[in-house]
Amino acid sequence: MKKMNVSEMSEKAANDLLMVRLGQLVVNERYKNGDFKVPIHLALGHEAIAVAVSQTMEPEDQLVLSHRNIHYNLARSGSVKEEIDEYLLKPEGAGGGWLGSMNLSRKSEGVAYTSSILGNNLPVASGMALANKTREKESVVIVVTGDGAMEEGAFYESLTFMKTFGLRVIVIVEDNGWSLASRIHERRCEIDLNQLAKAFGIRHDTMEGNDIARYIETLRDIREWTMDKNEPVIVHVLLTTLGHWTMKTEDYPEGKFINYHAGPAKTVNIGDGPVIENSEADPVFVLKSRLDETEFDKLVKNQLQNLSGELP
């Protein structure tokens, strides 16, 4: 693949992607250090969609999040310090120390509501979009859910509501294949989202591969479409939550695969650099493979300099 100069992609996208990754790695170091009392769901591997959503949003657009929200909050605000201060429950934190991690929103940056209860945010997003329609606002509501949360009845009820009332909502399904420690096949049948969307007459797009530039392009197109058509869209994002480890048990002497769900990612260390996995599953690896190496290193160095004050 041809290597790019950073100005050929979007310098902001590249920088934000690295900020969201490195910001999380800093949070992880503090977490491993035992600095936080609130439970945090890191989103290592989820950075590309978060940055793309953030860069697609227009000033009036609103984002509605769930338990795993650090990537969007960082992408929207750019402030790792305010994120960490919130986790420390300080008044200077992003939520004034009231929200902690699982409910963290940031009104001034368009993060309107965040819920730790699966499915809870979809009806709220539907209502927000109906309000926007009633008030003739030129904006979109983007709501984030997961392959686990979409098992809640509220998902189907909200799709019906959004379609019925012709609402401008982009439903992002972050599909990592896991809910807690259960893989999809360990807890339910497969659900073909594309077919499901068809049944509702809702547009459906799939995104995978973690190419930030392509993600932004696709989302901009989707945003334009929903604005134009007054219709909801489902965006199925296939991704991998990074930070797994193996645990040796009696039944698994070779080591059992333990997926990352929440808490510190104990095998991930900031000293190992911003790339966690050398594969397409890691958006930062994808970025690195697109960029000229010295360019990439320069961007990383700059970001790390900004963050050094937040390390334990």
Ligand X SMILES: Cc1ncc(C[n+]2csc(CCOP(=O)(O)OP(=O)(O)O)c2C)c(N)n1
Point out which residues bind another protein (CB under 8 A).
37-39, 89, 97-103, 115-120, 148-149, 151-153, 179-183, 186-188, 258, 261
Give the DSSP letter string of 140-151: -EEEEEETTGGG
Residue type, 153: G
Binding part of the chain for Mg ion, among 46-54, 108-116, 139-147, 230-238 by CB under 5 A, reads 139-147
Contact call for residue 147 and Mg ion (CB under 5 A): yes
Judged by CB under 5 A, which of 66, 73, 158, 176 binds Mg ion? 176
- Tell the smallest beta-carbon distance from residue 159 to ligand X (Å): 16
Report the C-alpha gap between 244 and 217 in whole angstroms.
30
45 binds, among ligand X, Mg ion, another protein, none (CB under 5 to 8 A by kind): none
Q: Which of residues 181-220 bind Mg ion (CB under 5 A)?
A: none
* Distance in angstroms (rounded) separating the CA atoms of residues 23 and 278: 20
Chain contacts with ligand X (rule: CB under 6 A): 67-68, 116-118, 146-149, 174, 176, 178-180, 261
Q: Between 66 and 139, name the residue whose CB sits nearer to another protein.
A: 66
Of 257 and 294, which CB lies nearer to another protein in the complex structure? Answer: 257
Residue 227 binds which entry of ligand X, Mg ion, another protein, none, CB below 5-8 Å type-dependent: none
Q: For ligand X, which is the closer residue by CB, 174 or 282?
A: 174
Distance CA 73, CA 244 (A): 23
Please tell me whether residue 159 adopts helix, strand or coil conformation.
helix
> What is the 8-class DSSP label of residue 88?
T
Cβ at position 210, least distance to another protein in Å: 26
**Distance of alpha carbon 122 from alpha carbon 124, whole angstroms:** 5
306, 303, 305, 304: which is closest to 15 by C-alpha?
303
* Residue 68 contact, options another protein, Mg ion, ligand X, none, Cβ 5-8 Å cut-off depending on partner type: ligand X
Question: Considering beta carbons, is residue 155 or 285 the nearer one to another protein?
Answer: 155
- CA 21/CA 47 separation, integer angstroms: 7
β-pair partners for 206: 236
Q: How far is the CB of 149 from ligand X (least distance, A)?
A: 3
Of 107 and 183, which CB lies nearer to another protein in the complex structure?
A: 183
Radius of gyration of the chain from its Cα atoms, rounded to whole angstroms: 19
Q: Which is nearer to another protein, 4 or 38 (CB)?
A: 38
Q: How would you class 123 by CB atoms within 10 Å of its CB: exposed for 0-12, middle for 13-18, buried for 19 or more?
A: middle
Contact 17, 283 (CB under 8 A): yes
Residue 148: both structure tokens together:
């686990």
Which has the closest alpha carbon to 95: 108, 167, 37? 108
Strands 256-258 and 245-247, how do they pair? Answer: antiparallel
Q: Closer to another protein by CB, 149 or 275: give it.
A: 149
Q: Smallest distance, Å, CB 147 to ligand X?
A: 4
Q: Which residue is at the shortest CB distance from Mg ion?
A: 146
Establish if 148 lies at the interface with Mg ion (CB under 5 A).
yes
Angle in degrees, CA 52, 270, 247, rounded to 5 = 100
User: Is 165 or 245 the residue whose CB approaches Mg ion more closely?
Assistant: 245
Which of ligand X, another protein, Mg ion, none sits in contact with 115, Cβ below 5 to 8 A by type?
another protein
Which residues sit at the interface with Mg ion, rule CB under 5 A?
A: 146-148, 176, 178
